[in-house]
Amino acid sequence: MEFSRVDRLQSQIIKEISDIVANELRDTPPAMITFTRAEISRDLKYAKVYFSVLGKDDDMTPSFEFLKRHAGVIRHMVGKRMRIRFTPEITFHFDTSTAHVMRINEILEQIKRDEKKP
């Protein structure tokens, strides 16, 4: 299976943003942020970057605000690192898929416990 240019850029942008947030910004994030995936438009002008937060649910909003506040700086640094003609406009979105996976696992565990009961 061959990857397209957009697929390669999506993978690379996650790596670069992760490194920038962890090592390059002057501020430190309010919680441990994990970038899960990126969706870049075909014209390479827009990038939706999804993230999750390790820890309490209360850390989600401050982390989102942190990323929104630093979006311009992050975009600038990504552009310098990736050396692409047009750096996409980056928007951050909370990834709820990990919460869904955890909820499904809880339901499956409950079903197993219920089946074991006589």
**Domain span at residue 31?**
5-116
The pLDDT score that the predictor gives to residue 18 is: 95
Tens of pLDDT along 49-108?
A: 999 887 776 778 899 999 999 999 999 999 999 888 889 999 999 987 777 777 888 898
The pLDDT score that the predictor gives to residue 100 is: 76
Judged against a pLDDT cut of 80, whether residue 118 lies above it is answered with no
Whether this prediction's pTM lies above 0.85 is answered by: no
What is the CATH number for 44? 3.30.300.20
Look-up of token digits 């209360």: 58
Distance CA 58, CA 72 (A): 25
The pLDDT score that the predictor gives to residue 1 is: 45
Distance CA 62, CA 72 (A): 17
Upper half-sphere CA count for residue 17 (Cβ side, 13 Å): 30
Distance CA 47, CA 19 (A): 17
Tally of structural domains, the chain: 1
Average pLDDT over residues 21-30: 90
